[in-house]
A and B are shown apart, each in its own frame.
Chain A
Amino acid sequence: QKEVEQDPGPLSVPEGAIVSLNCTYSNSAFQYFMWYRQYSRKGPELLMYTYSSGNKEDGRFTAQVDKSSKYISLFIRDSQPSDSATYLCAFSSGSARQLTFGSGTQLTVLP
C-alpha cells in the first residue's frame, strides 16, 4: 500500500463549480497536513496548512482533515479558470522534517 494515495485526474469542471480534491494516507505518524498548488513550470505554492482534525477555511478554500479515517480534502468554492493547476497534498510527522507528497491532481476550470 502506498503511503499516500491521490487521484491524478485530470479533473475538468465548469467555472463556478465546487471542486473536491482528496488524499488518503496510511502513516499514523503524520500530524501536519498541507495542500500546495502548482502551476505549470512553477514551484508549489502553499495553500493550506493544518495539524488538527476538522475544517479550516481561507477564502474560497476549505481544508478538511479526518485523522480517524486518514483522509484529507480540499474544497474550492466558486472555482475560477485561474484555479487551473496541479494540486498536491503533503504530509509530515512531528519528528521528521521532510514532506511526503501525493502524486498531484490536475485540475482544469473551464470558462
Chain B
Amino acid sequence: GAVVSQHPSWVICKSGTSVKIECRSLDFQATTMFWYRQFPKKSLMLMATSNEGSKATYEQGVEKDKFLINHASLTLSTLTVTSAHPEDSSFYICSARLLPISNQPQHFGDGTRLSIL
C-alpha cells in the first residue's frame, strides 16, 4: 500500500491565488522529504529538500519565496505556491525516505496536478 500520501490530487484556481499542497508519510517518520515538479512527458525535476525542524534546501533556479516549504512535523511537509500564475501550472510530486538509513529508496506520493487559470 501507499507509504506517502499527497493532497489534494488536483486543484484548479485563479491567477494570484496561493495554493497549499500537503505531503504525509504514513506509518513512518520522515526527517527528509523531497518536492519535485514534472512537466508533461518529462522527467522529475527536484525543486527542494524539506528538512524537519529547519529550513528547506532549494535547488538552483527555484524561488524560495515563491515556493514556501514547511516541514513542521516528522510526518508532514507542505508546499505553498504563492501568488500562483499560469506558468506555475504543473504536476507536483513529493517523496520521503524511510528512516533511519539515508540510502533507503524514496517513496513517492501520487502527485498534485495544479492548474492556474
Contact = CB atoms under 8 A, between A and B. Distances in A.
Contacts of A49: 105
A98 interface: yes
A42 interface: yes
A45 B103 contact: no
Q: Main SS of chain B's interface residues? A: strand
Contact of A98 (B42, B46, B105): B46
B49 to A, nearest CB: 7
Contacts of B110: 42-43
A41 interface: yes
Interface of A: 31-32, 34, 36, 41-46, 49, 51, 88, 92, 94, 97-99, 101-104, 106
30 contacts: A32-B103, A32-B105, A34-B105, A36-B108, A42-B110, A43-B93, A43-B109, A43-B110, A43-B111, A44-B44, A44-B108, A46-B106, A46-B107, A49-B105, A51-B103, A88-B44, A94-B103, A97-B49, A97-B97, A98-B34, A98-B46, A98-B49, A99-B34, A99-B44, A99-B46, A101-B43, A101-B44, A102-B43, A103-B43, A104-B42
